[in-house]
Amino acid sequence: MDAVHRYLAGVRDRDWDLLDSACAPDIERRSPFSCEPAITGREAYVAFNANSIGAIASYRFEIRQLDYSADRRRAFVRGHEWVQYTPESPTLDWDMALWIDLGEADLIERIDVYIKLAEVFERPGRSRVG
């Protein structure tokens, strides 16, 4: 299983050791939100996922497209994410994309996250935040 598939399976299954095995020591995750700083370093990135996704009552991620560049140094993932923060809260879902850069050791060096949040807030019965 290559690093991209280990990463996706690690997040999906909340398997932080598998996620760790896919990441370069100096991995950088760039947030979809400009107010959040980038997360740098494997330990910090795995902890971020364990503390965010790991704390969610129900989490699901479905891969809808996975493509690699010709040299297999970049991957593009288009997916859909479902999140239920607590057992009592509604399930939110959105389309998202990941742009993944792989280094010489075939480990993930950078992840850029893109989320279509407008879909979450513009549905009937939901009000727009802000």
**Residue 103, exposed/middle/buried by CB under 10 A (0-12, 13-18, 19+)?**
middle
> pTM for the full model?
0.84
pLDDT of residue 112: 95
Tokens at 31, concatenated: 């947030």
Enumerate domains of the chain plus CATH numbers. 3-121 (3.10.450.50)
pLDDT of residue 128: 43
Mean pLDDT of the chain: 89
pLDDT of residue 36: 77
pLDDT of residue 31: 82
pLDDT of residue 127: 44
Q: Which residues of the chain have pLDDT under 70?
A: 34, 118-130
From 55, 125, 44, 47, select the one nearest 90 (Cα to Cα). 125
pLDDT of residue 106: 94
